[in-house]
Amino acid sequence: MFVLVNLKAYPCDPVAVAGAAADVADESGVRVAVAPQAAHLERVAATGVETWAQHVSPVDHGSHTGSTLAEATADAGAVGTLLNHSENRLRLADVDGSLRAAERAGLETVVCANNPRQVAAAAALEPDAVAVEPPALIGTGTPVSRADPEVVTDSVEAAAAVGDVPVLCGAGISTGEDVAAASDLGAEGVLLASGVAKADDPRAALEALVEPLR
C-alpha cells in the first residue's frame, strides 16, 4: 500500500511532518510520501521522505508566469505529483497536458477523480494511478470505504476496464482501519490530508495508519 499525505495549505510544519513520515516509512517498510506546498518542496525533500508536488501546470519552459513547471518541481526534489484534486480542478485537456509535462520531467502521477466514471476517463489518459475522492467526504473523517464502499470497488473495476491503472482511495481516511478497509476493497493506496497534517502528533497518526500494513 502507498500512503500519500497531502499537506494542502494547512498551517503545519511541513519539515516536521516530512521527517516523521520518513522515519515511519523506514521503520515500517511502508511506502509513505508527502506532498507539501511548492515553496516547501526542497526543504521537505531534504528530510529524505518521498516528496510529491500538489500540482504541475500543463506548460513547458516559456512565458508562463504563475505556473508550476514540472521540471522545477523535479529540480526541487519531487518524484511525483498530484493532479486534478477536487480543490484544484482541471479541464480534461489540461489534465492531459499536465500528465505529459510530468512525464517529460520524470514525475510519477496520481490523477484525482470524484467517482467511477471520472476514474475511467482519468485512467484512459494513462497516469501512474488514479485516486477516487468524493468531494463531500473530504476532510470529514468519514472514509468513502465506510460511507460508500461501492465507489471504491466500482472505481477499481472502471480503471481495470481501461488498463492496468492502480486506484488509491481518498476522502476521510484517518485511521489504520480505514487503510485496511481500502485495501480490502481493492485500492492499492490511500490519499489523505487532515488526518496527518492537522493531527496534534503527526508521527503517532502516521504510525497508526501503517500499523495494519506491517
* This model's pTM is above 0.85: yes
Task: State the catalytic residue, choosing from 27, 85, 150, 211.
Answer: 85
| DSSP-derived secondary structure letter, 186 | T
Tens-digit pLDDT profile for residues 108-158: 999 999 999 999 999 999 999 999 988 777 666 677 777 778 899 999 999
Q: CATH number, domain at 171?
A: 3.20.20.70
- Amino acid 173: pLDDT: 87
Say how many C-beta atoms besides its own lie within 10 A of residue 160's C-beta.
Answer: 15
pLDDT value for 102: 98
Task: Find the catalytic residue in 40, 50, 55, 133.
Answer: 133
* 181-192 pLDDT, tens digit each: 999 999 999 999
Helix (H, G, I), strand (E, B) or coil at 150: helix
* Greater model confidence, 138 or 159: 159
Residues 90-117 have a mean pLDDT of: 97
Q: Is the pLDDT of residue 100 over 90?
A: yes
* Strand pairing class (129-132; 167-170): parallel
Q: Which domain holds residue 150?
A: 2-213
Average pLDDT for 17-37:
98
CA 108 to CA 127: how far, in whole Å?
8
What is the arithmetic mean of pLDDT over 16-33? 98
CA distances from 156 to 60, 83, 142, 183 (A): 32, 19, 20, 11
Please report the sign of the dihedral spanned by the C-alpha atoms of residue 196, residue 102, residue 50, residue 161: positive
Tell me: the pLDDT tens digits for 170-209? 888 889 999 999 999 999 999 999 999 999 999 999 999 9
Annotation says 61 is catalytic: no
**How many Å apart are CA 190 and CA 173, to the nearest integer?**
7
Question: Does residue 49 surpass a pLDDT of 70?
Answer: yes
133 is catalytic: yes
Give the pLDDT confidence score for residue 174 in this predicted structure. 86
> For the chain, what is the domain count?
1
The predicted structure's pLDDT at residue 53: 98
pLDDT of amino acid 143: 73
Higher pLDDT, 36 or 140: 36
Give me the mean pLDDT over the 55-80 stretch: 98
What is the chain's mean pLDDT, rounded? Answer: 94
Section 66-81 average pLDDT: 98
Query: In the Cβ-directed half-sphere of 178, how many Cα atoms lie within 13 Å?
Result: 24
Instruction: Please report, to the nearest 10 degrees, the dihedral formed by the alpha carbons of residues 31, 35, 39, 44 taken in order.
Output: -20
How far is residue 194's CA from residue 51's CA, in Å, rounded to a whole number?
A: 17
pLDDT for 6-22, tens place per residue? Answer: 999 999 999 999 999 99
